[in-house]
């Protein structure tokens, strides 16, 4: 687990170069986003069964599911 909040956006950063499994970061530092916005990375080997993976409601995928349920 890596938290690159202090350097993400200011320095070169690649999850592939480091070989990490998990990464979570705030976006309000060098990414210049609002408080409460951030990023998360989960290595592919931990996402073998995508049917069981339910992203948070406020994630991009969660919002797509919400839009579909509101239309039906």
- pLDDT (tens digit per residue) in 3-56: 998 888 899 988 888 888 999 998 888 888 888 788 888 888 888 877 766 666
Considering the domain boundaries, does residue 57 fall inside one? yes
Considering the domain boundaries, does residue 56 fall inside one? yes
Q: Which residue has the higher pLDDT, 61 or 20?
A: 20
Considering the domain boundaries, does residue 10 fall inside one? no
Residue 57: how many other CB atoms lie within 10 Å: 10
Considering the domain boundaries, does residue 20 fall inside one? yes
CA angle 9, 61, 49 (to 5 degrees): 100
Instruction: Report pLDDT for 67.
Output: 58
Instruction: Report pLDDT for 16.
Output: 86
Considering the domain boundaries, does residue 3 fall inside one? no
Domain that holds residue 56: 15-71
DSSP H stretches of helix in the chain:
15-18, 60-71
Q: Are 11 and 32 in contact (CB under 8 A)?
A: no
Considering the domain boundaries, does residue 1 fall inside one? no
pTM listed for this prediction: 0.62
Please tell me the distance from the alpha carbon of residue 69 to that of residue 72, in angstroms, as a whole number: 5
| Domains in the chain, number | 1
Instruction: Report pLDDT for 19.
Output: 85
């Amino acid at each position: 687990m890596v938290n690159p909040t202090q350097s993400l956006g200011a320095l070169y950063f690649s999850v592939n170069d480091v070989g990490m499994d998990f990464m979570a970061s705030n976006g309000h530092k060098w990414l210049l986003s609002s408080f409460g916005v951030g990023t998360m990375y989960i290595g592919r080997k931990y996402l073998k069964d995508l049917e069981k993976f339910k992203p948070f409601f406020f994630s991009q995928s969660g919002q797509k599911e919400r839009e579909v349920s509101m239309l039906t």
